[in-house]
């Protein structure tokens, strides 16, 4: 016990105690390969935390452990006080963690709108039977009644099924999300036909639709030009201002330095630094591992 | 070769083909939906259909419905048989998934293991009806074909230029198409359907977006089973019989229909089923009835040679045919 206290005391020095997600000495082995070696850090409520490191440092692996794709060999992840390790992916989503992917993984044969609605559906309550038979009726409010006169009088007598109301609410919410990320103009096109920048932002909209407390973005700016990157930085700040916590994996140093509150640096599956962006940029270990020549670091 | 026989009553033969094809198409949906989500050919699905036909027989026997029944009894018995067959088939489909496939999925078994398991389930179900139930209850269970009484009397509704359309044909074709449209709408428009398509397109991502994969899998087995139950009722109305291994040849035909239309594609199952039914009836008219199966598979081979993904292409995710 004393060992544990010492350890955690060491790495959470200066912690506000308001941790949303705690990565507690997580080790992950694939056979003989150690992908993550006793990685420990925390994400505080309401912050934008950057997770950086050279290629193959274990950033995406760390992500995958946090979203339940892999179960750690030892150590654990706690989200809002609950263990994440070993919980099924869709339950982790329900706990309040959503993510995007380094290589875009939309549902290509669905429209942008439908993609977001899959996310929104995660928060719906109607059961399988309720959807099939629509027996759970709710008394309809005036503005919820359909326009068609026959359907209108039926709805007045029998009420509206909860499925219909939730479906409508989900549609509205999804449209809001599309507007929020700025791609509402092509809501009804198939995801695979959307331009690259739209697809990236659609992934963010879909993740936001699940109403996460923590949004994890895996290299959201990959392939963006400077103007698009600036837009994305604004979007990430807007997400944080809505009260959501953001974890950002990113290669682009300018973007990371400009938008994050704190940084965690990984190298070869180990944490080598943690702190404010300016501190980390001055850390000689980080400069050696990641930023290359000191001149470059100063510029970043 | 007797082309006169075919062209002499082309309309009538086409109608027969559509009737047969409707049953194939409904059974094909079960193969196609499970394949779309799990990439698994569920060979036990043919026995899901077989159980449905026995359920229909059971309901008729219990209610005492036969060709002498009055109108009220006919309607009641048919509806009761429909509900019972749907429930029985869906339950068997779900039981196969829970008992046989789910434990394999938990252990990440390779695809071949699933395939062998599917064949095993099929054999077990066949032998339950061909042997086990006979041992306990005697006939009608066993290996002999059993007559299913048909409360619905065949009546010619319309005579369009010599083509006689019967009530049974209309009932079957319209019934099958209605079920198909309902299923298509469900998959394309409802929340659960969206979940099914999401899992079919990218299962891991869907799970991370909060889709309960297990529930989606149960749903496709139940829906596929329910369609097989409807098919079982329609089949017994048209052909008045069942048998312990009746699922075998229907299952193979339905599987062929699914592949023909593009496995994983709901509308493909409809197109494939109807086409297969028509081709079979034409071939058995031009040559003789023993050529029905041969021709069906020749068509399959030809289509796959030139369009290996089937007529409408694979993909449950891509429900827009």
**pLDDT value of residue A252:** 75
With bands split at pLDDT 50, 70 and 90, how would you rate the model's confidence at A266?
confident
A163 or B205, higher pLDDT: B205
How large is the ipTM? 0.82
Write b or e for each residue in B57-82: b if 16 or more Cβ atoms lie within 10 A of its Cβ, otherwise e. bbbbeeeebeeebeeeebeebbebbb
B291 or A203, higher pLDDT: A203
Closest residue, chain A, to B194 (C-alpha): A118
Write the CB contacts of B71 (distance below 8 Å, at least 6 apart in sequence).
Answer: none
Same domain for A149 and A16?
Answer: no
For B122-149, what is the mean pLDDT? 87
A98: β partners: A215
With bands split at pLDDT 50, 70 and 90, how would you rate the model's confidence at A2?
very low
- Which residues 157-186 of B are in CB contact (within 8 Å) with A? none
Same domain for A225 and A186?
Answer: no
A280 or A193, higher pLDDT: A193
CATH of the domain at A229: 3.40.50.300
Same domain for A256 and A130?
Answer: no
Same domain for A184 and A235?
Answer: no
* Domain with A298 in it: 1-96+212-300
With bands split at pLDDT 50, 70 and 90, how would you rate the model's confidence at A133?
low
Topology of the domain covering B3-151+168-306? ABC transporter involved in vitamin B12 uptake, BtuC (1.10.3470)
**pLDDT value of residue A128:** 65
For chain A, what percent of residues have pLDDT higher than 90? 32
For A32-43, what is the mean pLDDT? 88
Please determine, for residue A12, whether its predicted confidence score (pLDDT) is greater than 50.
no
Residue A49 lies in a domain: yes
Same domain for A223 and A87?
Answer: yes
Same domain for A27 and A80?
Answer: yes
B42 or A132, higher pLDDT: B42
Same domain for A226 and A294?
Answer: yes
- The answer to whether the CB atoms of B209 and A69 lie below 8 A apart is no
B194 Cβ under 8 Å from any chain A Cβ:
yes
Please determine, for residue A3, whether its predicted confidence score (pLDDT) is greater than 60.
no
For A172-200, what is the mean pLDDT? 92
Same domain for A91 and A225?
Answer: yes
Report the distance separating Cα A171 and Cα B163, nearest Å: 49
Query: Nearest by CB to B195, which of A93, A99, A118?
Result: A118
Interface test with B, best of A66, A92, A110 (most B CBs within 10 A): A110
State pLDDT tens for residues A229-240.
999 999 999 999
Chain A contacts to B (CB-CB under 8 A): 67-69, 88-90, 92-94, 98-99, 101, 105-110, 114, 117-119, 121-124, 126, 128, 131-132, 163, 166-167, 170, 206-207, 210
Tally of domains within chain A: 2
- The answer to whether the CB atoms of B210 and A90 lie below 8 A apart is yes
Residue A144 lies in a domain: yes
Write the CB contacts of A141 (distance below 8 Å, at least 6 apart in sequence).
Answer: none
B106 Cβ under 8 Å from any chain A Cβ:
no
Among A206, A226, A256, the domain-final residue is A206
Interface test with A, best of B191, B195, B204, B213 (most A CBs within 10 A): B191
Same domain for A84 and A117?
Answer: no
Please determine, for residue A1, whether its predicted confidence score (pLDDT) is greater than 70.
no
Please determine, for residue A4, whether its predicted confidence score (pLDDT) is greater than 80.
no
Residue A104 lies in a domain: no
Among A177, A206, A235, the domain-final residue is A206
Please determine, for residue B72, whether its predicted confidence score (pLDDT) is greater than 90.
no
For A148-172, what is the mean pLDDT? 79
With bands split at pLDDT 50, 70 and 90, how would you rate the model's confidence at B84?
very high
- The answer to whether the CB atoms of A128 and B213 lie below 8 A apart is no
Same domain for A79 and A133?
Answer: no
Please determine, for residue B13, whether its predicted confidence score (pLDDT) is greater than 60.
yes
Mean pLDDT for chain B overall: 88
With bands split at pLDDT 50, 70 and 90, how would you rate the model's confidence at B317?
low
**pLDDT value of residue B233:** 94
With bands split at pLDDT 50, 70 and 90, how would you rate the model's confidence at B321?
very low
**pLDDT value of residue B32:** 92
Please determine, for residue B240, whether its predicted confidence score (pLDDT) is greater than 90.
no
Give A126's contacts in chain B (Cβ within 8 Å).
191
State pLDDT tens for residues B175-218.
999 999 999 988 888 888 999 999 999 998 999 998 999 999 99
Same domain for A263 and A129?
Answer: no
Q: Chain A: nearest CA to B191, how far in angstroms?
A: 7
Among A185, A206, A227, the domain-final residue is A206
A19: β partners: A44
Query: Nearest by CB to A67, which of B208, B219, B318?
Result: B208
- The answer to whether the CB atoms of A114 and B194 lie below 8 A apart is yes
Token look-up 């923590």 returns: A214
For A266-292, what is the mean pLDDT? 81
Please determine, for residue A30, whether its predicted confidence score (pLDDT) is greater than 60.
yes
With bands split at pLDDT 50, 70 and 90, how would you rate the model's confidence at B74?
confident
Query: Nearest by CB to B213, which of A90, A166, A170?
Result: A90
Give B210's contacts in chain A (Cβ within 8 Å).
90, 93-94, 98, 119, 121-123, 210
Same domain for A154 and A10?
Answer: no
Where is average pLDDT lowest: A92-101, A104-113, A175-184, B154-163?
B154-163
For A81-85, what is the mean pLDDT? 85
With bands split at pLDDT 50, 70 and 90, how would you rate the model's confidence at A291?
low
- The answer to whether the CB atoms of A166 and B191 lie below 8 A apart is yes
Cβ contact B223:B193 at 8 Å: no
- Which residues 240-259 of B are in CB contact (within 8 Å) with A? none
**pLDDT value of residue A292:** 57
**pLDDT value of residue A256:** 86
For B290-318, what is the mean pLDDT? 80
For A207-220, what is the mean pLDDT? 92
With bands split at pLDDT 50, 70 and 90, how would you rate the model's confidence at A147?
confident
**pLDDT value of residue A296:** 47
């Amino acid at each position: 016990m004393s060992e544990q206290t010492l350890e955690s005391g060491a790495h959470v020095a200066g912690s506000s105690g308001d941790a949303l997600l705690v990565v507690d000495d997580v080790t992950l082995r694939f056979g003989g390969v150690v992908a993550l070696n006793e990685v420990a850090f925390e994400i505080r409520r309401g912050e934008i935390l950057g997770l950086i490191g050279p290629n193959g440092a274990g950033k995406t692996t760390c992500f995958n452990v946090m979203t339940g794709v892999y179960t750690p060999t030892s150590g654990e992840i706690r989200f809002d006080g609950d263990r994440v390790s070993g919980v099924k992916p869709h339950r982790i989503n329900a706990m309040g963690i959503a993510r995007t992917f380094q290589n875009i993984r939309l549902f290509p044969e669905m429209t942008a709108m439908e993609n977001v609605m899959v996310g929104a559906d995660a928060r719906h309550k109607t059961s399988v039977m309720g959807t099939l038979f629509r027996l759970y009726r709710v008394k309809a409010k005036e503005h919820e009644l359909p326009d068609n006169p026959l359907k209108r009088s039926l709805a007045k007598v029998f009420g509206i099924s909860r499925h219909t109301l939730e479906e409508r609410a989900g549609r509205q919410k999804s449209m809001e999300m599309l507007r929020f990320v700025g791609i509402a103009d092509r809501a009804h096109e198939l995801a695979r036909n959307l331009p690259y920048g739209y697809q990236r932002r659609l992934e963010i909209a879909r993740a936001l639709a699940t109403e996460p407390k923590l949004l994890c973005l895996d290299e959201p700016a990959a392939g963006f030009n400077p103007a698009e990157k600036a837009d994305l930085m604004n979007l990430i700040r807007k997400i944080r201002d809505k009260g959501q916590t953001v974890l950002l994996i990113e290669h682009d140093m300018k973007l990371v330095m400009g938008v994050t509150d704190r940084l965690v640096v990984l190298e070869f599956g180990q944490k080598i630094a943690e702190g404010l962006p300016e501190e980390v940029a001055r850390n000689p270990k980080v400069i050696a591992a990641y930023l290359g020549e000191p001149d470059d670091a100063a510029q970043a | 070769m007797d082309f006169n026989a075919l062209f002499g009553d082309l309309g009538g033969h086409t109608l027969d083909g559509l009737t047969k094809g409707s049953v194939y198409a409904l059974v094909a949906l079960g193969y196609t939906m499970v394949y779309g989500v799990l990439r698994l050919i569920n060979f036990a699905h043919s026995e899901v259909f077989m159980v449905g036909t026995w359920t229909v027989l059971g309901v008729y026997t219990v209610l005492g419905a036969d060709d002498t029944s009055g109108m009220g009894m006919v309607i009641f018995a048919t509806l009761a048989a429909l509900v019972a067959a749907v429930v029985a088939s869906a339950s068997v489909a779900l039981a196969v998934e829970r008992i046989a496939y789910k434990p394999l999925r938990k252990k990440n078994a390779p695809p071949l293991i699933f395939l062998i398991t599917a064949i095993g389930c099929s054999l077990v179900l066949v032998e339950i009806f061909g042997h086990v139930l006979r041992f306990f209850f005697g006939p009608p269970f066993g290996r002999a074909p059993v007559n299913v009484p048909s409360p619905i009397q065949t009546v010619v509704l319309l005579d369009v230029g010599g083509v006689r359309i019967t009530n049974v044909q209309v009932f079957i074709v319209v019934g099958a198409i209605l079920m198909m449209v309902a299923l298509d709408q469900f998959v394309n428009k409802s929340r659960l359907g969206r979940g099914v398509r999401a899992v079919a397109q990218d299962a891991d991502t869907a799970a991370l977006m909060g889709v309960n994969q297990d529930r989606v899998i149960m749903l496709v087995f139940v829906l596929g089973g329910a369609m097989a139950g409807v098919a079982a009722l329609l089949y017994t109305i048209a052909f008045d019989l069942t048998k312990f291994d009746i699922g075998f040849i229907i299952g193979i035909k339905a599987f062929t229909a699914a592949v023909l239309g593009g496995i994983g594609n709901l509308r493909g199952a409809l197109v494939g089923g109807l086409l297969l039914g028509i081709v079979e009836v034409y071939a058995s008219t031009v040559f003789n009835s023993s050529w029905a199966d041969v021709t069906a598979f020749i068509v399959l081979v030809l289509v796959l040679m030139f369009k290996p993904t089937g007529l409408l292409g694979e993909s449950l995710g891509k429900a827009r045919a």
